Amino acid sequence: MFKKIVKRIELWYSNRNWASKRKYLIKKGAVIGEGTRLNCKVQAFGTEPYLITCGNDCLFAGGVSFITHDGGIKVLNTLNKFNGRRMSKLAQIKIGNNVYIGQNAMIMPGVEIGDNVVIGAGAIVTHNIPDNVVAVGIPATVKKSIDEYYEATVNKKLFCFEGHSAEEKERILTEAKKKGVI
């Protein structure tokens, strides 16, 4: 009971901000590059964070999860398929540099994601994803190149909030909403 309370406090403390999340996960053996920011909780890295490698300048949205083990092997264990031994099935996950992973996406065991990649919201990534692409869906497949994503994005209504406070951002967006431009 005492251990559980200590663990809960440790997790709450670690989830305060980007720096505290990164520090906690590195302490747990994950490799997390410079400038990588986690909007998901540290729990997203599961029970084997030391099997996860992330490059620099990545951003992971809320609800993202990294799965490094296949709990399904429990069924084979119960069927005694391994001569009385309970086996585990694990694989590492490798994420490149400058990767964005959208809300609630799931990265499955053994997956490698290249550099300059966008993973769409809700994707389940079961196979490797190459450099410079946008991948979406279940299972995730390449939807377009990063250059095509740029072409599609540059003509959309974009905003720059650099140097703005949260209040200024809210004012700008509320105004845009009133004008019907967003």
Ligand X SMILES: CC(C)(COP(=O)(O)OP(=O)(O)OC[C@H]1O[C@@H](n2cnc3c(N)ncnc32)[C@H](O)[C@@H]1OP(=O)(O)O)[C@@H](O)C(=O)NCCC(=O)NCCS
Q: What are phi and psi of 33, to 5 degrees?
A: -70, 170
Kindly tell me which residue out of 9, 26, 76, 152 binds ligand X, with binding defined by CB under 6 A.
152
Give the position of tokens 């391994």: 82
Instruction: Establish if 173 lies at the interface with ligand X (CB under 6 A).
Output: no
Total residues contacting ligand X by CB under 6 A comes to 14
β partners of residue 53: 31, 94
Instruction: Establish if 103 lies at the interface with ligand X (CB under 6 A).
Output: yes
Instruction: Establish if 129 lies at the interface with ligand X (CB under 6 A).
Output: no
Radius of gyration of the chain measured on its C-alpha atoms = 20
Stretch that binds ligand X, among 11-19, 106-114, 135-143, 162-170 (CB under 6 A): 135-143
x/- letters, 49..88, toward ligand X (CB under 6 A): ------------x---------------------------
Kindly tell me which residue out of 118, 125, 129, 133 binds ligand X, with binding defined by CB under 6 A.
118
Given the complex with ligand X, which of 46 and 122 has the nearer CB atom?
A: 122
Stretch that binds ligand X, among 13-21, 82-90, 113-121, 164-172 (CB under 6 A): 113-121
Instruction: Establish if 143 lies at the interface with ligand X (CB under 6 A).
Output: yes
Residues 6+ apart with CB under 8 A from 78: none
Stretch that binds ligand X, among 70-78, 85-93, 114-122, 160-168 (CB under 6 A): 114-122
Grouping H, G, I as helix, E, B as strand and the rest as coil, residue 134 is strand
CA 21, 169, 134 angle in degrees (round to 5)? 60
How many whole angstroms separate alpha carbon 150 and alpha carbon 177? 24
How many whole angstroms separate alpha carbon 155 and alpha carbon 140? 26
How many whole angstroms separate alpha carbon 79 and alpha carbon 48? 25
Residues that bind ligand X (CB under 6 A): 61, 102-103, 118, 120-122, 134, 136-137, 143, 149, 152-153
